[in-house]
A = this chain, B = another copy of it.
Amino acid sequence: MNIGRKHWAVAGGHIPFETTGREPDFSSRDRLALLNASLVAAQVEIQVVYADRPQAGPYRICVAPQRLRTVRINDLIDPLPVPLDTAYALIIRSEMPIVVQFTRLDSGSASRALAGGNAYCSNS
């Protein structure tokens, strides 16, 4: 079953500058989880959109068939790293329907706070 959508977006991205977590498990990070339930590999392209500079990308990611792939936004470095302490948004396009969830773990305070939810998905 090809559950999911081909177009997704995340509006509220932000990698904090400070962190008290251990690297790499609990460092401050935003994370994407990409689920490909289909029998075919999904070629995914991500554009990173900013408030005051041109968008960057595409960042290319392949999600194997019937597999999950998690991507730390920190690790998006080609063609350009995503700067710390800067608001950003993501536009995600996949050839195959996928399911995308965006999770934030903020370890900048004494306690860790995390938040997550599905990314926005369009009808197509």
Contact = CB atoms under 8 A, between A and B. Distances in A.
Interface residues of A, number: 52
A119 B113 CA distance: 20
Given A11-B34, A89-B68, A101-B10, A4 B120 contact: yes
Interface of A: 1, 3-4, 7, 9-13, 31, 33-35, 37, 49-52, 54-55, 66-70, 87-89, 91, 93, 99-104, 106, 108-122
Given A9-B35, A33-B87, A99-B9, A117 B118 contact: yes
Contact of A54 (B3, B12, B66, B70): B66
Given A110-B110, A111-B110, A68 B91 contact: no
Contact of A113 (B49, B102, B114): B114
Contacts of A111: 109-113
A113 B116 contact: no
Contacts of A10: 101
9 contacts: A3-B120, A12-B70, A51-B70, A54-B66, A99-B120, A106-B112, A109-B111, A111-B111, A118-B118
